[in-house]
Amino acid sequence: MTTDTYSRDAERLAQEILQGFQRHYDRFTHITAQARQRFADGAWLEGQQAAAARIHFYDERVSATTEQLREQTLGELDEALWLSVRQHYEALLQFHPQAELAETFYNSVFCNLFHRRYFHNSYIFVESTLARTLPLAVETEYRSYFPVTEGLARCLLQIVETADFAAPFADLIGDLRHLQAAFQEQALSVDLQPEQSRIDVLKAPFYRNKAAYIVGRLVTTNATYPFIVPVLRTKQGLLYIDALITDRDQMAIIFGFARTYFMVQTRAPSALVRFLKDVMPNKTLAELYSAIGLHKQSKTEFYRDFLQHLDSSRDQLVAAAGIKGMVMTVFTLPSFPFVFKVIKDVFGGNKSMDRATVIERYRMVKRHDRAGRMADTYEFANVAIPLVRISAELLEELQSTVAGSLKIDGDHLIIRHLFVERRMTPLNLFLESASPDEVDAVMKDYGQAIKDMIAANIFPGDMLLKNFGLTRQRRVVFYDYDEVRYLTDMNFRELPRATTVDEQMAAEPWYAVGPDDMFPEQLPVFAVPQPKLRQALLQFHADLATPEFWQRQQQLIQQGVVSDVFPYPESLRFTDQTRQTD
């Protein structure tokens, strides 16, 4: 093959992959843009369906592009050709507004086509090329407002009107009075003059569940004050501003890893993410890409972070703290805030499910509304980890529990399939040394976590304390999904009462129990066997022990009711709440 022929073929293949990416992003953008009208219409169930569907778009288009190219490559890698393909593709991305996403798409297609021995920077984008190009201006994603020319009140009005939520406000002037007062109280440490500040606001609102969010920052001569303004909808279809959030920890919770992805329009994702990184500096790029629904890019950024961390650290991977699970072997790198979970070859206890069921339940949580109470996961295949970074004890455990998922290739351990989650403090371990006040606070939030999940039609299944963790903000989050079911699939029953001595003395239930039966009266005893902890739970959530509570939640879901789960404290909501959310 001549050099000219190589060049033409390489250019054609690069163009075909980029066209595949563009088809994906056009589809992604289209369904995202519809969030505005769904919010205006109160089409909450439709929004949930769109959010779940959008997650699959990437894999569908990668598969289609892979098949298109597989017919041409016949599974054989021509090294000279594909070195040239990568060069042509990189050239196409120099001024592409979604260059980083297109790189990830290329990697996915290439890795589907060829063996992992080619998974290095000569053939794929292990390292992003963005560092060698001019970054997209962050200003492309936000507008600036200047109180010196209009005054703060007029600027706030312009911000809300420009957001264009496609529905009228019930009392916008009254809302703006609340908002201006909250700005003065929360954001400004001194009474600034108009000429001393500028307000930057992202052009596109963020939509999720039953709310829209305006995200921006107030810039002064001395500091920058980030803010989020939630906008809700009444049952009458009118809008109102619900709160002002300026605390960075509260903002981090709104953008947290336990929440559903936002719908937000962006032409230049890297610029949008850099703005978000400026107002939430403790968030990683991986977390922020995930928050805006670009979970494949999040996965890429996470893996780059992991490789860089391995290069800059020396500690070894070890078994994770806590009680060992019956379905997963879990390990961690102490200096890296994540855990790695591999499905065991043989399940312990009375687990009757198979490997495919476990994988599907983790994916079910991925595409479901996580209500701020279920940790997001990354799913990886064929992960290579240097053997020198794995402790001898962990390697022995892996070989005895997940040998079917392992392969040693030279000086690397290849794990065929694993899940990655944010590392948290296991709830049972935290409670062992918690003060009485901490016990009350945590058990109250544990019960609320269960209620938030069931309001989203999730039955956690195994609700033992060891399956929940505490985040940095002391929020209780669920992270073990092998027993997860839809709430509406379960049958909640009252516990039958024994009427004879034989029934009272029976070692096993004397009444029939179906596979989907659940007796809420037993929940506190089985999930929280420690009397003091159980007493703390029932002090706040006695209704969890009644079948009527669970049955009522099922009825609401079956009626199409989408419950309100606010990602910020009730205390931050504006007090004039005579309106009911839709």
DSSP per residue over 100-143, as a string? Answer: HHHHHHHHHHHHHHS-GGG-STTTS-SS-GGGGSPPPPGGGGEE
CA distances from 445 to 19, 468, 473, 476, 504 (A): 47, 11, 12, 6, 35
Neighbours of 582 (CB within 10 A): 16
- Does 324 belong to an annotated binding site? yes
CA angle, 540 then 541 then 542, to 5°: 110
Distance CA 176, CA 367 (A): 36
**3-state SS assignment for residue 409:** strand
- Does 349 belong to an annotated binding site? no
Distance CA 260, CA 365 (A): 10
Containing H/E element for 36? helix 35-41
Given the residues 369, 376, 462, 480, select the one marked as catalytic: 376
DSSP per residue over 167-236, as a string? Answer: S-BSSHHHHHHHHHHHIIIII-SS---GGGEEEEEESSPEEETTEEEEEEEEEESS-EEEEEEEEEEBTT
DSSP-assigned beta bridge partners for residue 43: none
- Does 325 belong to an annotated binding site? yes
Amino acid identity, residue 391? S
Whether residue 47 contacts residue 36, with contact meaning beta carbons closer than 8 Å, is answered with no
CA distances from 358 to 115, 354, 422, 483 (A): 27, 7, 19, 8
- Does 321 belong to an annotated binding site? yes
Q: Give catalytic status of residue 376 as yes or no.
A: yes
- Does 341 belong to an annotated binding site? yes
Look-up: residue for tokens 């706030």?
Answer: 156
- Does 296 belong to an annotated binding site? no
CA distances from 375 to 151, 263, 331 (A): 42, 19, 16
- Does 320 belong to an annotated binding site? yes
Of 379, 392, 368, 350, the residue nearest 478 (C-alpha): 368
- Does 518 belong to an annotated binding site? no
What residue numbers does the annotated binding site for ATP cover?
Answer: 320-326, 341
**Which residues are identified as catalytic?**
376
What residue numbers does the annotated binding site cover?
Answer: 320-326, 341
